[in-house]
Amino acid sequence: MDGLHSDIDEVVLSAEQIKSRVIELGLELEKDYQGKSPLFVGILRGAIMFLADITRACQLPLAVDFIAVASYGSSTRSSGVVRILKDLDEDLRGRHVILVEDILDTGLTLNYLIKNMRTRQPASLEICALLVKQGKQKVILEPRYQGFKVEDKFVVGYGLDYDERYRNLPYVGTLKPGIVEEELD
């Protein structure tokens, strides 16, 4: 038992599937932002793998920054009350900003962040989410760039954690029963 791969119940997205979709998205961004120098803002910590791969799939003179947020609530559910733990280093005024998120669940975290970013007067602001959970959005958010629509199941891997583990799995999968302590709705 290695306690990493052996904890996975089902692979939802393989490393190959992720890789080819990320390349497609990178090319789409490259086309849409031709002649511009966008700022990719990664939401820590879940978006790190996605940000690292998508920026390399996108041949633009882009810049990268990070913001870290904490959502009040449990480890598996977000509440919509968001606290900024680490703010951006860059000034957003007049910049073309792409907010890079691992997974859109209720949408509450991103909704808060978008409002916050808009007050900083970027020239444009778009969302790029690797995963969008189906049927869970509490606020209507349709990211311009999205990787995959996924079922309403708790997933880990490719940056996504459970209790800070599993981020380094190259694929996205569900955990075996009994590993997630809290009952999910």
174 binds ligand 5GP per the rule CB under 6 A? no
Q: How far is CA 152 from CA 11, 32, 98, in A?
A: 14, 30, 25
Residue span 12-51 as binding mask against ligand 5GP, x where in contact by CB under 6 A, dash where not = ----------------------------------x-----
Query: Using alpha carbons only, how large is the chain's radius of gyration in Å?
Result: 16
Among 102, 125, 143, 175, binds ligand 5GP (CB under 6 A): 102
- Of residues 63 through 82, those in contact with ligand 5GP by CB under 6 A are 71, 78
Among 18, 58, 97, 104, binds ligand 5GP (CB under 6 A): 104
| Whether residue 93 has a cis bond before it, omega within 30° of 0 | no
| 128 in contact with ligand 5GP (CB under 6 A) | no
| Helical packing angle, 15-32 and 48-56, nearest 10° | 60
Binding site for ligand 5GP (CB under 6 A): 46, 71, 78, 101-110, 154-156, 160-162
